[in-house]
Structure 1
Amino acid sequence: MNKPIAIATCPVDESLLESLNDQVEIRYAQTTNRRISLAEQVADQLAEAHIIVAEIDLVDKATLAAAPNLQLVISCRASPVNVDLDACRERGVPVCTTPGRNADSTADLSFALILDVTRRVTEASMWMRSGQWKPEDSGEPYRRFKGPTLNSRTLGVVGGGAVGQRVAQRGLGFGMEVQVYDPFLTQDRLPKGCTIATLDHLLCTSDVVTLHVPLLEDTIGLINEQRLSQMREGAYLVNASRAAVVVQPALVRFLQDGHLAGVGLDVFADEPPAADDPLLELPNVVVTPHIAGASADVVRSQTKMVAEIISAYLDEAELPYRAREDLVDFRKVDAAAAL
């Protein structure tokens, strides 16, 4: 009997999949543009595929049409933003994910943004590199770049999933008072030392607010003008979840008028953002190019889950890590919804 064929187009630790070689043929395909349809890149291989394992390459209607034998899609992401979930439902093809694969990496980057924007690290570095530190006033940077000490400040974590809980733990390590908003969590499921809070209370009382929610109908535009106005004057906001969670024009206004002291962003409505994006022109905004999950450790983590999913598929058992039915495809979000 012929073995099912799995096509993997994303980085995996091949050694962790070797135990499956007797049951499934895993083919590793190279793609040149990982943000376009797989049908435009490896159509010849899709014709035989029973399983697709992809991270960024788009698994869209064209991909499904080119893969008549397809029985399973594995998106190596916490949220399968590269997969047309509606098209897979119509075909009856289950979609699995690799939740938490980069939770620690994303939490690290999120806290790096918190430290950077509050202590003005990037701003001070650029100022120094530009030759503005003069010997006749060696104390100028001490006066210019003062920022708050995190100890005893309040950290508000919006979204208490794998990433949010890890960010909360890091905040506790810095001696912060940590409160978490998540409508699906109860106090007993939070890290010890954290408190549960309503979103209104969290926004009104936090010195730093960090966002870690999935993209759902209810989270698009969650942080809008009214909610930004609830934040403490001089507070900081960090977003390493999805750009559409925050209404960007309102965010720009609250930064320009000084209500917010600073913002750290790893996600943008358009990636890459336009050169004239107003967020890139503001000195109190720290930006990184969507690199929260950029860690070599993530590959090993996601491969372990891929192996678990494929093993369940081969055993005809219940598939672990099935994609949530209420997730919103970020490519289908009307840009106006977050403006």
Structure 2
Amino acid sequence: MVVDPWLDHTPIRLLGPDDLAARIDAESADIVICEADVCSGPVFERSLRVIGSTRGDPTNVDVDGATQAGIPVVHAPGRNADAVAEMTVALLMALSRGVVPGHRDMVRGTVFGETLPYQRYRAWQVAGRTAGLVGLGAVGQATRWRLEGLGMDVIAADPYRADATHDLDDLLATADVVSMHAAVTPETFGMINEEKFALMKPGALYLNSARAGLHDVDALVGALESGHLGGAALDHVDGEVLPPDHPLLAMDNVVLTPHIGGATFDVETRQTEMIVADVLAILAGEKPLHCA
């Protein structure tokens, strides 16, 4: 067994398929477990018994290619549901209560100026407000009970869930807070566009702790600049970083974090337990729980 976690690398080193295949040969490995290294092509020419992707969606593995090569692929769906749900709540609180600009005022010594902080950062409490969840997968469900625990009325849109309460347009028109929890697919890519932002209530807050591909960023900027939206909080942007002149960076009613919703020690433990259990099942000739 060779343990070489990429989190221990400085700088980060992620292997492409050729380098990964060479590493497999060098270590005489017959099992590969990875999170972001790319498993495709030459990797499948090795005599692997199983590939484990510690991701909820094994996007780093060519699953069709592995299947054709007779190599089972196991993954860890829902591994980070609680972590991302907590991040969603953190983004909501930071955005709704002016935590980021308030901190900046304290650091800069600009607390008292033309207005008092009590005036600048006065806000509605979230208790009694309506939160609309777009997507009721593992993260959406984990977010739902947390927001209900804060006293929010939680509604949801998901065409594949019987417990969804609204269709998308009705949800957008009803919710004080819209929170995105869908996977990015051809069906959902760019689903929140200019038309959908316009359907939201004036002053509504937009949260996306999923992926930036779910919304049209130019339409989001427009809805914020016009004052139609009260604010936005995003844990992911296209390309992972924004150019320094991007308008979102200059807005006090925007909270941005660098794709860290799932960055907890608990997630690492959970995904490891899930993958190890499925690898052991395959080695024992049993059916794994989470096969891609």
CA distance in 2: counterparts of 1:129 and 1:309, whole angstroms:
49
> TM (normalized to structure 1)?
0.79
Matches within 5 A, 1:218-229: 218-229=187-198
CA distance in 2: counterparts of 1:249 and 1:268, whole angstroms:
12
CA distance in 2: counterparts of 1:266 and 1:313, whole angstroms:
36
Listed as ranges, the gaps of 5+ residues in structure 2 are none
CA deviation after TM superposition for structure 1 residue 180, in Å: 1.2
* Amino acid paired to 1:45: I
Residue number among 31, 36, 42 corresponding to 1:51 in the alignment: 31
Residue number among 65, 68, 71 corresponding to 2:49 in the alignment: 71
* Amino acid paired to 2:120: R
**Structure 1 pair 81–165 and aligned structure 2 pair: CA distance change class (3 A):** same
Residue number among 303, 310, 318 corresponding to 2:279 in the alignment: 310
Residue number among 94, 97, 107 corresponding to 1:119 in the alignment: 97
Instruction: Please say which of residues 286-295 and 96-105 is displaced more in the overlay.
Output: 96-105
Residue number among 2, 5, 12 corresponding to 1:33 in the alignment: 12
**Structure 1 pair 314–30 and aligned structure 2 pair: CA distance change class (3 A):** farther
Matched position secondary structure for 1:210: strand
Retained in 2: the 8 A contact 1:211–1:239? yes
What CA deviation, in whole Å up to 9, does each residue of 1:141-183 have, x standing for no partner?
A: 0001112210110000111111111111111011110001111
> TM (normalized to structure 2)?
0.91
* Amino acid paired to 2:95: V
Retained in 2: the 8 A contact 1:9–1:54? no
Aligned twin of 1:265 = 234
Percent identity, aligned pairs only, is 36
* Amino acid paired to 1:84: D
CA distance in 1: counterparts of 2:235 and 2:11, whole angstroms:
24
CA distance in 1: counterparts of 2:224 and 2:133, whole angstroms:
20
**Structure 1 pair 239–8 and aligned structure 2 pair: CA distance change class (3 A):** farther
Matched position secondary structure for 1:196: coil
Residue number among 277, 290, 303 corresponding to 2:246 in the alignment: 277
Residue number among 171, 180, 186 corresponding to 1:217 in the alignment: 186
Instruction: Please say which of residues 85-94 and 241-250 is displaced more in the overlay.
Output: 85-94
Listed as ranges, the gaps of 5+ residues in structure 1 are 1-5, 13-28, 188-194, 324-339
Retained in 2: the 8 A contact 1:75–1:96? yes
CA distance in 1: counterparts of 2:226 and 2:75, whole angstroms:
41
Q: What value does the CA root-mean-square deviation take over the aligned residues?
A: 2.4
Residue number among 140, 143, 167 corresponding to 1:167 in the alignment: 143
